[in-house]
Amino acid sequence: MHRRNFILTAAIAAIAPQLARAHHGWSGFDADTPVYLRGRIKAVKWENPHAMLTIEIADGLQVPADLAGRALPAQASPVDGADILRRTKAPPAGEREWTLELAPLFRVNQWKIAEPAVGDEVEAIGYILRMEDAPAFMRVEYLFVGDKTYGLRSGPA
């Protein structure tokens, strides 16, 4: 019995770093190509470890003409937000329903982002999974809700 527990513990310890990197790392996302999404919320999961939204976007969604000129939170300055806005592309064709992974819930709460409701419209800029046949999944860098912009890799000033 002790040997089996030891082997199980050793196996978990061996894979734990990979699981942590997979969850917290950016390696699976195309961080060279920011993508713009706008849509109506279909589902909300406002819990740890990350708040998640499922949105439905319109066919043929394009990057808004004013996107590159939008103001970003000053505390997001370590990330070159102006460059991200300039490089943002429209989403790949074909996917209408997207899952948005927001920041950890403690950071979302620091920003005082009100939990959105099904039917609300949001905009997001972020990075999508780079693997072929990947689900429509985005890790959000900037979230736009109404007239507010949140830099999800930073905390509020």
Q: Which of 123, 108, 116 is nearest to 70 (CA)?
A: 123
Delimit the domains of the chain by residue range: 30-151
Q: Percent of the chain, pLDDT > 70?
A: 81
pLDDT digits (tens, 9 = 90+) for 15-35: 444 434 344 566 789 989 999
Q: How confident is the model at residue 12 (pLDDT cuts 50, 70, 90)?
A: very low
How many other C-beta atoms lie within 10 A of the C-beta of residue 3?
Answer: 7
More confidently predicted of 96 and 80: 96
Dihedral angle sign, alpha carbons of residues 85, 90, 129, 55: positive
Q: Residue 135: is the preceding peptide bond cis (ω within 30°)?
A: no
| 8 A C-beta contact, residue 97 and residue 136 | yes
Element containing residue 124 per DSSP (H, E): strand 121-128
Return the CATH architecture of domain 30-151: Beta Barrel (2.40)
Q: What is the pTM of this model?
A: 0.81
